[in-house]
Structure 1
Amino acid sequence: MDQIDRRILHELQQDARVTNAELATRVGLTASPCLRRVRQLEATGVIRGYRALLDHRTLGCELQAFVTLVMQREDRAHAERFEREVARIPQVIEANRLFGDPDYLLRVAVRDVPAYERFYSEVLCHLPGVAQFSSHLIMKEVKQDRGIPTGANP
């Protein structure tokens, strides 16, 4: 992967709906080689897909929380069962297994505090193998996810 590929990735992370012609101009290529590079980045899995960034407030998800979880047992069978269950929960918009304590970090999106309370007591508390929860409600989004650093100098 060279500097042009990195600039392509940077530009696509900023605006995945940019036309190929505009993308080519931004990275200093003509349209055909630019499209070949994008297709190659897709084929090799560097670009995993494209999606729209949605405004959570407009969609009625006013409250987001980070939830840390400590497991009772950390063997493979229990971890796999827990991870399968978490993957099925639509309110969990991101889930990560961590080194050390806590064991997991979930990002949750719900309507409001009463909805989070219901989610906590009806869903989170019934997840298999969890010994301890801690909720961290997001007060203010300081920096949005702007993508992975590509090393490009835009």
Structure 2
Amino acid sequence: MIDDIDRQILNYLQTEARITNAELARRVGMVPSGVLERVKKLEERGLLRGYEARVDARKLGYGLVAFTFVKSDDPVGGVASAQVLAAIPEVQEVHHIAGEDCYLIKIRTSDVEALGKLLREKIGVIPSIRSTRTTIVMETLKETATVPIPGTSEGQGDAI
């Protein structure tokens, strides 16, 4: 269980990961040492898994986003193909899914030609991969890594 202070801390850190401990303490109405202890406990419990910078992929030449459904020969519950897919740098996400396909992956490349080459030369050569279906993103209207925190104005519910 987390309390209201922990919820506030999680919300602030999701939107402003570079916030100073002193500023975070001021916003939640605590002393910095108390906030630091709470942050450490949230990390230890796995609620805070890390901190990262959000890089503009388009400005680095990765303007194409695609989602690919992947069928594999993995046994039920097996994720060997997923581990190989996850090791490909252009693959940003790998999701083991229910349904006809086994995985849904998110890919970023420079253009359609680079996507085709990736599908042929990196994904298509994986022995356990049986087929792929790819959808190219025309425009991204929302993309976020933030999670609604239950019990706050941004989230719903009572407790984690």
Partner of 2:8: 7
Unaligned runs of at least 5 residues, structure 1:
none
Q: CA RMSD in A?
A: 1.7
Report the residue type matching 1:100 in the other structure.
G
Tell me, yes or no, if structure 1 residue 94 matches structure 2 residue 97.
Answer: no
Report the residue type matching 1:75 in the other structure.
P
In 2, Cα distance between equivalents of 1:45 and 1:129? 33
Partner of 1:17: 18
Partner of 2:52: 51
Query: Using a 3 Å threshold, how does the CA distance of structure 1 residues 80 and 102 change in structure 2: closer, same or farther?
Result: closer
Relative to structure 2, which stretch is displaced further, 39-48 or 123-132?
123-132
Give per-residue Cα distances to partners, 1:102-134, cap 9 Å, x unaligned.
210000111111111111111121123222211
For residue 76 of structure 1, report the CA deviation from its aligned partner.
5.3
For residue 135 of structure 1, report the CA deviation from its aligned partner.
0.5
Report the residue type matching 2:149 in the other structure.
T
Partner of 1:145: 144
Task: Quote the sequence identity (%).
Answer: 35
Unaligned runs of at least 5 residues, structure 2:
155-160
In the superposition, the TM-score normalised over structure 1's length comes to 0.91
CA contact (8 A) 1:7 1:153 kept: no
Give per-residue Cα distances to partners, 1:119-153, cap 9 Å, x unaligned.
11111211232222111111111112141111223
Partner of 1:133: 132
In 1, Cα distance between equivalents of 2:48 and 2:105? 24
Q: Which aligned segments of 4 or more residues in structure 1 are displaced greater than 3 angstroms?
A: none
Query: Which has the bigger relative contact order, CA under 8 A and spacing at least 6?
Result: 1
